A and B are shown apart, each in its own frame.
Chain A
């Protein structure tokens, strides 16, 4: 798999002058080019594929709306997320009997507005997704590039470690890590980022190995590109498609796992308005107040579903193997 092949004669890069094949019919070629529409830019073609998938497009719109709501939460939330209205404990949503028009989605057991808490929770969940994906993607890319370029012992060590991590169910490993670090939202994010690392490492390494056998890598190596330049400037951009897909799907699993840890009491701690933590608090009121149980979970489902839809759409658009 070595990139350079020392035995073969090196072909000088510029034996064939660019455009020489059309030397005799330069004008004819120009005419043809004038008639034909310009080939679509690659991103434009991908966008067309993506647009054609209604589910993926819907996912994208939901995500954009969620991000907007999360960013605007301090201004659009009707109440502070931790303001307690002692006169309105466990109020049902505004539209149902006994509802209070001040609280659209009702209040929880200490009189906090559910809608406001959900809006602020969106900030947390999206931040969790962002941070987890950034951490795991960054570390995964570096480890994957190192494994793919170094081969040999380093490669074997990294990949065997990833195999070990994959042998454990991810939520279990995350729980174990949080058990050691102590329960908090930050530790939960670290744990989830560690747990999903193997997927990024394996994807990057596989893509790197596929790229390394290509001519442009040999060419740039001959041109004197250094190891780091090869890794990050020449090879990495060509490995991004599967990583983008995985990162999008990674958003949904990070949000889901953080909520699960919060629900188990191992993530964000009350009174943080994290969706999973809110559900854990709400459990004891399941017989009396359906709304405190329903809405936080619905928020998780909608967010996760949107990212999964978009991830599927991106895979169809970016993964040439699946292109029909």
Chain B
């Protein structure tokens, strides 16, 4: 297992190196030199310009700059935001829990609804329910989620007034950040009202972000289940007189889950991309909104660092899914 883990980890290195090259190239492809955009409107005289170029190392050949950039990365230095003058890594880490909280909630909704619906659709194959699920999930898969978010706000926030329109928690509450997850921090502080407020704010964005994964999981569960149900061992289990619930819920589900887990994991990239849209609409203070704001401010170090970190997260999750896949599917582990 350790060898398996190491090998998979090593395979990621060249890919990650490629991502750093893309992130590096990004900032050097921008027309004009990097100092120009740092100076902004004020401008600077040529002497100061030349001195700053030398000071920041922008006069060196590109490959030297890239090596220097890699060296900085190894020390955890992703540069400083032009806007706040704070280290990019620190900013990212402060905002990241908000995105994780939102993504986990979205994934929870998607799994809790998508799995049972997919199983039921497979068991009742060809019925009205099955066709309905397939139709709705295709619509969910095709949904422009930024519009979906606006529709839900229109219904639940504007018409019914059930949920707040934006933010993570009502401004009336202040919670000392411990974990960065508001749902946990409010409970740690013992403040039930604040917890409910945070939950209230979380529901709508989580539903929006969970919509596409929900559709994908439902479709995947259905097709995996249909595949498994045909197998002989299921017929054998039925013949032994086991209850339908046990046959489906234990015997069939265990094998049907294997591809589903992979799909859930592979949705992380989609989820983070969706988080960019969802966070922008709901003014959710996570890394997605931060990235878009940074682009609008032309804060290139922040954009560069953010893209690199998001890519790192996606790759780490994909690696974890790979490992989990080996764990729940012994055929892969032994057959490597």
Indicate if A189 sits at the interface (CB-CB under 8 A): no
Q: Does A64 contact B (CB under 8 A)?
A: no
Among B148, B153, B314, point to the contact of A168 (Cβ < 8 A): B314
Q: Could you count the A-B residue pairs with CB atoms below 8 Å apart for me: how many are there?
A: 125
User: When the two chains form their complex, are residues B150 and A286 in contact, meaning their CB atoms are under 8 A apart?
Assistant: yes
Q: Chain A 164-184, CB within 8 Å of chain B: the 1/0 string? A: 110111111101100110000
Q: Is the CB–CB distance between B29 and A164 below 8 Å?
A: no
Give the residues in chain B near A176, CB-CB below 8 Å: 26, 303, 307
Are A169 and B270 neighbours in the complex by a CB distance under 8 Å?
Answer: yes
The contact string, 1 if C-beta is below 8 Å from chain A, for chain B 130-143, is: 00000100110111
Q: Inside 8 A of B151's CB, which chain A residues have their CB?
A: 293-294, 297
CA distance A160 to B148 in the complex (A): 36
A172 close to B295 (CB less than 8 A): no
Q: Chain A 292-305 against B: per-residue CB contact (8 Å), 1 yes, 0 no?
A: 01101110110011
CB distance from A307 to the nearest CB of B (A): 8
B147 is contacted by which of A167, A172, A297, A312 (Cβ under 8 Å)?
A: A297
A290–B19 alpha-carbon span in the complex (Å)? 42
Tell me whether B150 and A175 are in contact (CB under 8 A).
no
- Interface residues as binary, B1-39 with A (CB distance below 8 Å gives 1, 0 otherwise): 000000000000011101101100010011000000000
Asked if A175 meets B138 with Cβ closer than 8 Å, knowing A168-B314, A169-B269, A169-B310, the reply is no
Residue in contact with A260 in the complex, picked from B277, B296, B314, CB distance below 8 Å: B277
A247 interface residue (CB < 8 Å to B): no
B15: A residues at CB distance < 8 A: 160, 163-164, 167
A268 interface contact, C-beta 8 A: no
Task: Find out whether the CB atom of A309 lies under 8 angstroms from the CB atom of B146.
Answer: no
Q: Report the minimum CB–CB distance from B159 to chain A (whole Å).
A: 9
Whether B310 pairs with A167 at a CB distance below 8 angstroms is: no
Task: Please state if A167 and B144 are interface contacts (CB–CB under 8 Å).
Answer: no
- Chain B contacts of A283 at CB under 8 A? 150, 281
Which one, A180, A259, A297, contacts B150 given CB within 8 A?
Answer: A297
Q: Assess the B292–A160 pair: CB atoms within 8 A.
A: no
- Asked if B142 contacts A252 (CB within 8 A), the reply is yes
Q: Give the distance in Å from the alpha carbon of A308 to the alpha carbon of B310 in the complex.
A: 28
Q: Does A265 contact B (CB under 8 A)?
A: yes
- With CB as the reference atom, state the residue of chain B lying closest to A293: B150
Asked whether any CB of chain B lies closer than 8 Å to the CB of A50, the reply is no
Interface size class of A (residues with CB under 8 A): 35 or more
Q: Which residue of A lies closest to B303 (CB)?
A: A179
Distance (whole angstroms) from the CB of A311 to the closest CB of chain B: 10
**For residues 270 through 300 of chain B, which have their beta carbon under 8 Å from a beta carbon of chain A?**
270, 272-274, 276-277, 280-281, 291-292, 295-296, 300
Q: Which residue of B lies closest to A280 (CB)?
A: B146
Q: How far is the CA of A301 from the CA of B142 in the complex (A)?
A: 6
Write the chain A residue with the least CB distance to B11: A163
State in angstroms the CA–CA spacing of A164 and B314 once bound together: 12
Cβ–Cβ contact B295 & A175, under 8 A: yes
Shortest CB-to-CB span from B146 to chain A, Å, is 5
Please indicate the chain A residues that have their CB under 8 angstroms from the CB of B307 in the complex: 168, 172-173, 176
How long is the Cα–Cα vector from A296 to B146 in the complex, in angstroms? Answer: 11
Q: Which residues of B contact A300 (CB under 8 A)?
A: 144, 147
Q: Specify which of A169, A252, A293, A298 is in contact with B154 (CB 8 Å cutoff).
A: A293
Complex Cα gap A256–B15 (Å): 27
Contact between B142 and A260, CB atoms less than 8 A apart:
no
**In the complex, what residue of chain B is closest to A305 when comparing beta carbons?**
B142
Nearest A-chain residue to B16, judged by Cβ: A167
Q: Is B199 an interface residue (CB 8 A)?
A: no
The CA of A176 and the CA of B308, in the complex, are separated in Å by 11
B113 located at the interface, meaning its Cβ lies under 8 Å from any Cβ of chain A in the complex: no
Q: Mark B70-91, 1 if CB is under 8 A from A, else 0.
A: 0000000000000000000000
How far apart sit A290 and B280, CA to CA, in the bound complex (Å)?
Answer: 20
Chain B nearest Cβ from A187, distance in angstroms: 12
Among A252-306, those with CB < 8 Å from B are 252, 256, 259-260, 263-266, 276, 279, 282-283, 286-287, 290, 293-294, 296-298, 300-301, 304-305
Q: Which residue of B lies closest to A275 (CB)?
A: B144
Residue in contact with A164 in the complex, picked from B19, B144, B277, B292, CB distance below 8 Å = B19
Query: Which residues does chain B contribute within 8 Å of A294, judged by CB atoms?
Result: 151, 154
A161 within 8 A of B: yes
Distance between Cα atoms of A50 and B270 in the complex (Å): 30
Contacts of B292 in A (CB 8 A): 175, 264
Which residues of B lie under 8 Å from residue A168 when comparing CB positions?
A: 19, 22, 269, 307, 310-311, 314
| B14 nearest CB neighbor, chain A only | A160
**Contact between chains at B144 and A304 (CB < 8 Å):** yes
Cross-chain pairs A/B with CB under 8 angstroms, 25 sampled: A164-B21, A164-B22, A167-B314, A167-B315, A169-B310, A171-B277, A172-B273, A252-B142, A259-B146, A260-B144, A260-B146, A263-B144, A264-B277, A265-B296, A266-B295, A286-B154, A287-B158, A293-B150, A293-B151, A300-B144, A300-B147, A301-B139, A301-B143, A308-B138, A312-B138
